[in-house]
Amino acid sequence: MERTAGTELLRGVRAGLPVAVGYLPMAMAFGVLATQTGLHFIQAAAMSLFVYAGASQFASLGLLAGGASALAIVLATLVLNFRHFLMSVALSRRIPLVRRPGRAAWAAPLALGFGITDETFVVASLNESLTPPFFIGLALTAYLAWLSGTLIGAGFSSLIPAVIARGMGVALYAMFIAILIPGVKKTWVNGLVAAAGACLAWGASLAVPGLPSGWRIVIAILAASAVGAAIGREETASTSREEPA
């Protein structure tokens, strides 16, 4: 059956709903904290609009409050975002970007790349059929939730009661678990890699207190995936369509 771009987009939006539920309270908290740190409403909104990187945005507020220079904050952001480089490398092997001569071949990578976050990466790369419209639907849903949460938080303060917001905060973890389980059912190697990633991330956070979460993820990705590569086959990890005919 031929899938149309429209149905693929909708499929992506549906896959993005749990991400949106998780992003909303986080973005509201960012908006509140940003205005408390002294950012103008427009600046807080611009951060979520143009930077769109949760952990880095929170880190920048902490550094600003501590009196760090703009350059130091930009460098800290670069370091924190190295994990997205790794994720983009992995995603680029999975997403079929059709090259049409004469068309703007770079436009699609720019749009797709902007939408890569920890959450959209794991949802997209573990989806059975990853297409560009699916990813756009997924990323757009997440992005709009992040943006509207920031606007609400910076404009009105967090509208959601704290208990509900913390409840919504568990959404991302529940989603991670829900997409991990089918992979583990496929082969135990996937579960082993995830367990190794969790142990490495936990170990790193205990060994180096205050290690930014971005670096925990980088360490886990590089080392735990090597465990998988040593004992598993490529096809076991994801429905791979590696080499086009």
Partner 1 sequence: MIWFMIAGMCAVTFVPRVIPLLLGRDLVLPGWIRRWLSFFPYAALGALIFPGILTVVEGRPWIGLSAGACAALLAVKARNAIFPVLAAIAVTVILELAAT
- Of residues 159-198, which lie at the interface with partner 1 (CB under 8 A)? 163-164, 166-183, 185, 190-191, 193-198
Per-position x/- string for 195-214, each x denoting binding to partner 1 as judged by CB under 8 A, each - no binding:
xxxxxxxx--x-------x-
Per-position x/- string for 131-160, each x denoting binding to partner 1 as judged by CB under 8 A, each - no binding:
------------------------------
- Closest approach, Cβ 69 to partner 1, in A, equals 8
| CA–CA distance, 185 with 123 (Å, rounded to integer) | 17
- Closest approach, Cβ 202 to partner 1, in A, equals 5
Q: Of residues 6, 36, 46, 156, which one binds partner 1 by CB under 8 A?
A: 46
Residue type, 31: G
- Closest approach, Cβ 117 to partner 1, in A, equals 9
- Closest approach, Cβ 148 to partner 1, in A, equals 19
| 1, 91, 183, 15: CA torsion to nearest 10 | -60
Window contacting partner 1 (CB under 8 A); options: 2-10, 74-82, 144-152: 74-82
- Closest approach, Cβ 1 to partner 1, in A, equals 18
Which residues are within 8 A (CB) of 196 and not within 5 positions of it... i.e. 6 or more apart?
A: 220, 223, 224, 227, 228
CB atoms within 10 A of CB 18: 20
- 3-class secondary-structure state, position 238: coil
| CA–CA distance, 83 with 81 (Å, rounded to integer) | 5
Q: Is 116 exposed, middle or buried (CB count within 10 Å of its CB: 0-12, 13-18, 19+)?
A: buried
Q: Of residues 5, 36, 62, 93, which one binds partner 1 by CB under 8 A?
A: 93
What would you report as the CA-atom Rg of the chain, rounded to the nearest whole angstrom?
19
Give 17 or 159: the residue with its C-beta nearer to partner 1.
17
Residues touching partner 1, count (CB under 8 A): 108
Q: Of residues 29, 136, 151, 220, which one binds partner 1 by CB under 8 A?
A: 220
- Closest approach, Cβ 60 to partner 1, in A, equals 6
| CA–CA distance, 166 with 164 (Å, rounded to integer) | 5
